[in-house]
Amino acid sequence: MTELYDTVIVGAGHNGMAAAGYLSRAGKKVVVVERMANVGGMTSAGYMISEAPDYLVTPCAVELLFARGSGIIEDLELKRHGLTTIDPDPSYAYLHPDGQSIALFRDYKRTADDIARIHRDDGKQYLKFMDVMDAMMDIGFPIMMAEPGRPDFKNLSKMISGAVRNVKLKNKLIAISKATADQVACEWFEHPATIALLNGIAAGAGPVDDDGNAAAYMIFAVTHRLGTGKPVGSLQAFANAMASSITESGAEILLNAPVAEILIEGGAAKGVRLSDGRVLRSKTVIATSDPKTTFGLTSPGAIDRRLMQRIEHVPANRSNAAPFLANVAMHAPLRLKKHQDLRHDDADLNKAVGLIGLADDVRHSFAAARRGDIPQKHAVSLSPLSNIDPSQAPEGCSIAYLYLPAMAVDAREGWSQALKDKTMASIIAQVSDYYDGFQHEVGRFVETAREREVRLNVSNGCVTHVDFGALRAGSHRPATGFGGPKPAVPGLYLGGAGSHPGGGVSGIAGRIAAKRVLRVV
């Protein structure tokens, strides 16, 4: 006899496990199927450098910024299941080539004072900027938390309350929400270091010259209020805590179980067929894979052609720019060369994410990626993982996570090993002007967008599944007709980063999918 589940969940990333957690706690029979050998998806980590087998590699995400405010940690009791976090303060630091720095502290007034040391008027402006960012969070975070097309009273009232409290900032909020990140940085601030700080952070959400991208600046308010939350043991520890929580509440997880087909029968999803031939029947399916991959797995010819074309044209790294990620293992400590010594206070920048690159470097990186070229100078954020959590490298050694927000998905000359090595050589040379330790490298893990596409089965290696933008938000994410309360295909619910509220480690998309399923099973 075929076992019938209430829900089959495709993907044991954090959104898939979030959905499973809420459903299993509601008494539903749930199975999560995962093509990889461990849970986590983009929040997974492992010992992936053959020359340095004792160094923990984090290939994608490294912090729990949005999860700190989503409620998922509390709802699934992740601390009881082993999750512990560290909050470096400052969390980020812009490193100017001349040795000056701007530290992003939890206290935004202290951050403003730090900016004022470099440019007095920019320091004053930061306080005004944060008034607007706090308003954006007051309004925007409830929108993120709410189900598109079916807002709950709690989040709706919070959003309305936030709008009423901040009505005097309405015009500034509208202007920022529609502008490019680069434009806002240049409008509000004057000094190159302040502008570079803003562009460096906004670049993580996509091209800084795209209209609507400035909404990413809400991350400043989130960081100041919630902290970044670096899990001890990397985000794999977060994923493991989620797996422990959901299995305790009755969910089943199948690893090494890639999906060959999402079964669409009679116009509705009825389960999945795994690559080994097993068929898992269910009343509903939640897919946390990216939308193109998801609908590419559906039964051939079972879905209207126009809907399939709508998904086919969903933008995923459409501009040919995508994050280029590297973990570098070193048989020595990682330390700043001069920026720490030039500090005027006790802030430990060696534990902060170092933002390297002028605003022009950010701009030129995206422009080069669109052409398929490799920039001569890079915009880089460097997370000193083992300085924050020493367990991630052997004693006296270090591992650094290098995140370059804009690198060509498809390089003009093709991503050969020689081009990867040449690119990494230029990156290491640049960051070595700021940090000491890279001369003691013992191994590295480097991943282009195309390699990420293969490893994680995500279209174009797009870490957010669908490009960030106002036209791909709410019920219109990933496309019109696919993000509302009623699924485009009965029984098939989208619950990954390609759904509202988008990328970032929050678990909100998975929880929204679970709520939708609970209304029908």
Which pLDDT score, from 0 to 100, does residue 298 have? 98
| Helix boundaries (H) for 146-191 | 153-165, 170-178, 181-188
For residue 373, give both structure tokens: 């070229």
Residue located via tokens 């696919």: 482
pLDDT per position as a tens digit, 76-125: 999 999 999 999 999 999 999 999 999 999 999 999 999 999 999 999 99
Which pLDDT score, from 0 to 100, does residue 471 have? 81
pLDDT per position as a tens digit, 53-66: 999 999 999 999 89
Second CATH level (architecture) for the domain 4-37+255-315+467-518: 3-Layer(bba) Sandwich (3.50)
From-to residues of CATH 3.50.50.60 in the chain: 4-37+255-315+467-518
Question: What is the Rg, in whole angstroms, of the alpha carbon atoms belonging to the chain?
Answer: 22
Strand ranges inside 52-125, DSSP E = 85-86, 92-95, 101-104
Residue located via tokens 């994680």: 456
Distance CA 91, CA 473 (A): 28
What residues contact residue 53 under an 8 Å CB cut-off, 6+ apart? Answer: 47
Distance CA 198, CA 213 (A): 12
pLDDT per position as a tens digit, 423-433: 999 999 999 99
Output the CA torsion sign for 206, 38, 516, 153.
Answer: negative
Distance CA 475, CA 504 (A): 18
Residue located via tokens 């977060």: 238
From-to residues of CATH 3.90.660 in the chain: 44-74+84-106+227-231+317-461
Report whether pLDDT(1) > 50: no
Task: Kindly report the length of the chain.
Answer: 521
Start-to-end CA span in the chain (Å): 21
- 3-state class of 64 per DSSP? coil
pLDDT per position as a tens digit, 500-513: 999 999 999 999 99
Distance CA 73, CA 50 (A): 33
Q: What is the mean pLDDT of residues 15-20?
A: 98
Report whether pLDDT(2) > 80: no
Name which of 132-141, 148-157, 383-392, 487-496 the model is least confident about: 148-157
With b for 16 or more beta-carbon neighbours within 10 A and e for fewer, the 398-429 pattern comes to bbbbbbbbbbbbbbeeebeeebbeebbeebbe
pLDDT per position as a tens digit, 285-304: 999 999 999 999 999 999 99
Q: At 488, give phi and psi (nearest 5°).
A: -60, -35
Q: How many helices (H) and strands (E) does the chain have?
A: 18, 18
Distance CA 446, CA 454 (A): 14
Distance CA 269, CA 262 (A): 7
Nearest CA-CA partner of 6 in 491, 505, 500: 491
Question: Could you give the percent of the chain with pLDDT greater than 90?
Answer: 95
What residues contact residue 106 under an 8 Å CB cut-off, 6+ apart? Answer: 87, 89, 90, 91, 223, 224, 227
Q: Crossing angle, helix 218-226 and helix 108-118, to 10 degrees?
A: 120
Distance CA 495, CA 338 (A): 45
Band of pLDDT at residue 466, cut at 50, 70 and 90: very high
pLDDT per position as a tens digit, 295-346: 999 999 999 999 999 999 999 999 999 999 999 999 999 999 999 999 999 9
* Residue-averaged pLDDT of the chain: 96
Which pLDDT score, from 0 to 100, does residue 470 have? 74
Distance CA 329, CA 260 (A): 37
Q: What is the mean pLDDT of residues 123-129?
A: 98
Nearest CA-CA partner of 139 in 149, 151, 150, 128: 151
Q: Crossing angle, helix 120-145 and helix 170-178, to 10 degrees?
A: 80
pLDDT per position as a tens digit, 164-221: 999 999 999 999 989 999 999 999 999 999 999 999 999 988 899 999 889 999 999 9
Distance CA 86, CA 82 (A): 13
Report whether pLDDT(3) > 80: no
Q: Crossing angle, helix 181-188 and helix 192-202, to 10 degrees?
A: 150
Furthest CA-CA distance within the chain: 73
CATH class of 44-74+84-106+227-231+317-461: alpha beta
What residues contact residue 162 under an 8 Å CB cut-off, 6+ apart? Answer: 135, 138, 139, 142
H/E element, 360: helix 359-371
Which pLDDT score, from 0 to 100, does residue 481 have? 93
Distance CA 400, CA 352 (A): 12
Which pLDDT score, from 0 to 100, does residue 243 have? 98
* Per-position DSSP letters for 234-260, written without gaps between them: HHHHHHHHHHHHHHHTT-EEESS--EE
Distance CA 207, CA 266 (A): 42
With b for 16 or more beta-carbon neighbours within 10 A and e for fewer, the 39-65 pattern comes to bbbbbbbeebbeebeebbbbbbbbbbb
What residues contact residue 426 under an 8 Å CB cut-off, 6+ apart? Answer: 374, 376, 378
Do residues 5 and 278 lie in contact, with contact meaning Cβ atoms separated by under 8 Å? no
Burial of 1 (0-12, 13-18, 19+ CB in 10 A): exposed
Distance CA 518, CA 521 (A): 5
